[in-house]
Amino acid sequence: EPEVTQTPSHQVTQMGQEVILRCVPISNHLYFYWYRQILGQKVEFLVSFYNNEISEKSEIFDDQFSVERPDGSNFTLKIRSTKLEDSAMYFCASSERSWGQGTDTQYFGPGTRLTVL
Amino acid sequence: AQSVTQLGSHVSVSEGALVLLRCNYSSSVPPYLFWYVQYPNQGLQLLLKYTSAATLVKGINGFEAEFKKSETSFHLTKPSAHMSDAAEYFCAVTGANNLFFGTGTRLTVIP
């Protein structure tokens, strides 16, 4: 069964450093998402991406964040200058269609745990 | 605006007992609702989803949920808990291009 994969599983970085979290969505999916989950809190939406553009983003997704689909398979989340409060589990998800085209399911990867020291 | 509220951050049940995890939603449009499960150190796995077809939705691992519009609820149930059901469960409702999650309910199964 196809699945979303994410690398690395755990990333430790120093405050102020740039990190890139990588995701490989399911191959025939066209919509991509990033969510994060701070320890002990709920899963929060960051950004959705379609056709090489951001289609929606939350208030959390400020100028420190960016997303990219550098090739036909990877989908990345970059944090330019990490802060302590960026420590969280980051989940990538993908779906074949968006809600506007009928319901569809977002399939989640296993997550990358980011620890900012 | 879309949101979900999960009542009870922790639920403990005995093995073989009924599992009931509560979720109430708020949505300005007819909602699509989901339950996801997160096992320790793993990602989110879809348990089941409601997409305006049947109000009683059956999912994986013996779980089901009933959509009740009058109560704005989408509670998750399983008749008989198994040790392997111990996990965190998240209810979610669709936004425009994303999902709004609840705060989660940690289910503990007591042998």
Dihedral sign computed on CA atoms, order B36, B30, A98, B59: positive
Confidence tier at A98 by pLDDT (50, 70, 90) = low
Q: What is the dihedral of CA A115, B6, B94, B57, to 10 degrees?
A: 120
Instruction: Give the max Cα distance, chain A.
Output: 42
Give the residue-averaged pLDDT of A28-55: 91
The predicted pLDDT at position B54 comes to 84
Q: Give SS3 for A24.
A: strand
- Name B88's bridge partners: B38, B106
Dihedral sign computed on CA atoms, order B26, B29, B32, B37: negative
Average pLDDT of the residues of chain A: 90
The predicted pLDDT at position B76 comes to 97
To probe the interface with A, which of B37, B91, B99, B100 has the most A CB atoms within 10 Å? B99
Give the Cα separation of B81 and B65 in Å (integer).
15
The predicted pLDDT at position B31 comes to 85
Residue A82 has pLDDT above 80, yes or no: yes
To probe the interface with B, which of A29, A103, A112, A113 has the most B CB atoms within 10 Å? A103
The predicted pLDDT at position A42 comes to 84
Structural tokens at position A37: 């989950």
A113, HSE (Cβ side, Cα atoms, 13 Å): 9
The predicted pLDDT at position B27 comes to 85
Confidence tier at A53 by pLDDT (50, 70, 90) = very high
Give the Cα separation of B60 and B93 in Å (integer).
19
Question: Measured between beta carbons, which residues in chain B are less than 8 angstroms from residue A97?
Answer: none
Give the residue-averaged pLDDT of A70-78: 91
The predicted pLDDT at position B4 comes to 92
Question: Measured between beta carbons, which residues in chain A are less than 8 angstroms from residue B96?
Answer: 56, 99-100
CA-based nearest residue to B91, from B78, B80, B105: B105
Record: contact B44-A91, CB cut-off 8 A: yes
Record: contact B101-A109, CB cut-off 8 A: no
